[in-house]
Structure 1
């Protein structure tokens, strides 16, 4: 017996970070979450799975386009025609969605109630699925105490949309702990809400499949679902199914050996080529390029990130314009310690003090707020067309103080280098 465990489809959720760029593949970005789910349904049919479990967040919140819901109904219909039942639990995003309340699903879809936990039994397979949907998005109480006891002699699957204790980066919906899950006595917990794959094997298998399609740079790498095999009431195998149609990568480029902008750009181009070579054939990629290391090229890299991004786009276009797009370029390099040599006395002391201030800014909330206020005041004085033309300036208008502090930290060595150069020329 085998089944597919998936969660966090977030159908029609926008892919953030590329859609505003003129060189981005708009149609592919718009349909990525649908395409990933359609691929998963195809896999389910080809593998002839016995059933599918969806552990929450089919939709993406209060999205009012009913075409999204109709697409989901159509995919459920494909599974119905193949004789595959679906056990569906609604998560926090579904609780906000009009589609959850307004669309009738095919009769092969069994949705868990939200009033209390309930059990669906598959008699021929001796499988019992226990779950409870969210009634409201802000479900912050522990739902586990209401889950029923396991059915003796059967494979018991718990379905829950939850933020396990310790996963601080996720909103605390239906929080619980691993020992609490284990104590329930089920053989498998099909979880949702956390977008990274996590599997803990043992007498009780606890699994997050992750989301089907990465939507931004914080969701890098392969995305998909889990194909779970079981025999005589025990989990025997778990296989990752990759169905994403566009993949996000954070590409670190160490430019410690580079002496100028040209050599740094060439090195980044080589890193992108290596990424293309090692990635699955034909799969498009959205890449954030992060320049790192202590480098003589720091001043040139940090002085104009807008120009640097255009250089990276040119590298990507030359390699494969249909497969690789630049999401963003970040400069996290530092200047060599000798870059500002030649200064003496008060000038050197002033620059040293500025460098120390920039390095310690993150630990001083009052200074950060003052810096942000000054920065915002300057941005407000710029013409609207200037702000529209510069993505970096537009980002800074909504930036938190730590990002502004990063800009100051990066700019300080550039200033030191220029002051040193002016001093030498004089």
Structure 2
């Protein structure tokens, strides 16, 4: 027996972080979750699996119109023609309370009710699937406790949408523990809600397949479902199926050895070339570049995000314009501390450095600086005031740290400009 276990499909959910840029792949952003789901159905048909399990968050909330449901019915119709059934549990994003529109689904699709846990039996395979859908999005009770005991002589699958009680980055819905699931006596737990692939093996095999398609830069790397092979003795194999159509990457570029912006750009170019060469052929990538390191070029990079992004876009266009999309370029460098070398010069630059060192603890200077900067802060839009961390320091008058942070880069840059 073989079945596919998928979860967290979030049909028609937008991909976040690229749509604001004119060079973004607009059509791909709109259709990525559907395209990944179509790839999943293709795999199910080609692999000739016995059934498909969807463990919650098939949808991303209420439909804007019926097109989302019509698309899903079409894909389920393809499964029906191939003789494949689907078993669907609804999670927090597609709970009954979230769905204002519905369609009658093809008869090969079986959905778990929300009033109580119940069981679907596939007699010809000796399989029992136990599950309970969410009635409300914020379901905080331990649903697994209401699941029935395993049926003797059957391969028992628990379908559950849960944070498993330990996933701090996800809302703690339907909390339970690994020990509770292992003690239930099912052969397999098909979980959903956590978007990263995880598997635990013991008396039960417990799996989060992750989501089908990464939707932003916090969901990097390959995405998909799992193909489970089992027999009368239990689970024999769990294989990952990658069906995503656009892959997110977060690339750190160490600029420690760089002394000019062109050198930084060359370092970024090398990382992008490596990414393209090591990735699957024809797989588009959305990339966030973060420049790190204690580097002499810190001062030159300060405030040059727009220019740096243009340089990186040019690199991507030269390497693989149809496969590389730059989500963001961030600067997280620190200045090389050249304090002693500059102090030994004994010139005007050394005097400026000493002035900054004294200014960090000079209350009159800090008050004057606050008054000057408050004019800038007060004119900034509210969203910018909330987004820029140093604005909070300016309003509170805590400027000593800001002066200390700026000093090494500013003095270093002035020395380089000579």
Task: State the TM-score, normalized to the length of structure 1.
Answer: 0.86
CA RMSD after TM alignment: 2.8
Aligned to 2:384: 396
CA change 1:297–1:40 in 2 (3 A) is same
* Structure 1 unaligned spans of 5+: 355-370, 388-393
Asked if 1:147 corresponds to 2:150, the answer is: no
**Contact 2:228 2:237 (C-alpha < 8 Å) held by counterparts:** yes
**Contact 1:66 1:99 (C-alpha < 8 Å) held by counterparts:** no
Once residues 101 and 417 of structure 2 are traced to their aligned partners in structure 1, the CA distance between those partners, rounded to angstroms, is 72
The offset of 1:283, in angstroms, is 0.3
Deviation per CA, 1:189-248: give whole Å up to 9, x if none: 000000000011122101000000000000000000000000114000000000000000
The offset of 1:349, in angstroms, is 2.1
The offset of 1:65, in angstroms, is 2.3
The offset of 1:187, in angstroms, is 0.7
Deviation per CA, 1:114-143: give whole Å up to 9, x if none: 000000000011000000000010111111
**Secondary structure, in 3 states, of the residue corresponding to 1:95?**
coil
The offset of 1:285, in angstroms, is 0.3
Once residues 43 and 24 of structure 2 are traced to their aligned partners in structure 1, the CA distance between those partners, rounded to angstroms, is 28
Once residues 31 and 248 of structure 1 are traced to their aligned partners in structure 2, the CA distance between those partners, rounded to angstroms, is 16
CA change 1:203–1:301 in 2 (3 A) is same
Aligned to 1:418: 410
The offset of 1:397, in angstroms, is 5.1
**Secondary structure, in 3 states, of the residue corresponding to 1:94?**
coil
Once residues 206 and 104 of structure 2 are traced to their aligned partners in structure 1, the CA distance between those partners, rounded to angstroms, is 31
CA change 1:311–1:353 in 2 (3 A) is farther
Aligned to 1:364: none
Aligned length: 396
**Secondary structure, in 3 states, of the residue corresponding to 2:46?**
helix
Once residues 129 and 376 of structure 1 are traced to their aligned partners in structure 2, the CA distance between those partners, rounded to angstroms, is 63
**Secondary structure, in 3 states, of the residue corresponding to 1:303?**
coil
- The worse-fitting range, judged by mean Cα deviation, of 99-108 and 12-21 is 99-108
**Contact 1:339 1:417 (C-alpha < 8 Å) held by counterparts:** no
Asked if 1:128 corresponds to 2:123, the answer is: no
Once residues 391 and 81 of structure 2 are traced to their aligned partners in structure 1, the CA distance between those partners, rounded to angstroms, is 52
**Secondary structure, in 3 states, of the residue corresponding to 2:67?**
helix
**Contact 1:62 1:97 (C-alpha < 8 Å) held by counterparts:** no
**Contact 2:90 2:112 (C-alpha < 8 Å) held by counterparts:** yes
Once residues 139 and 216 of structure 2 are traced to their aligned partners in structure 1, the CA distance between those partners, rounded to angstroms, is 25
Aligned to 1:13: 13
The offset of 1:417, in angstroms, is 3.6
Aligned to 2:190: 190
Task: State the TM-score, normalized to the length of structure 2.
Answer: 0.88
**Contact 2:98 2:137 (C-alpha < 8 Å) held by counterparts:** no
Aligned to 2:355: 347
Larger Rg: 2
CA change 1:404–1:7 in 2 (3 A) is farther
* Structure 2 unaligned spans of 5+: 344-349, 363-369, 394-398
Aligned to 1:211: 211
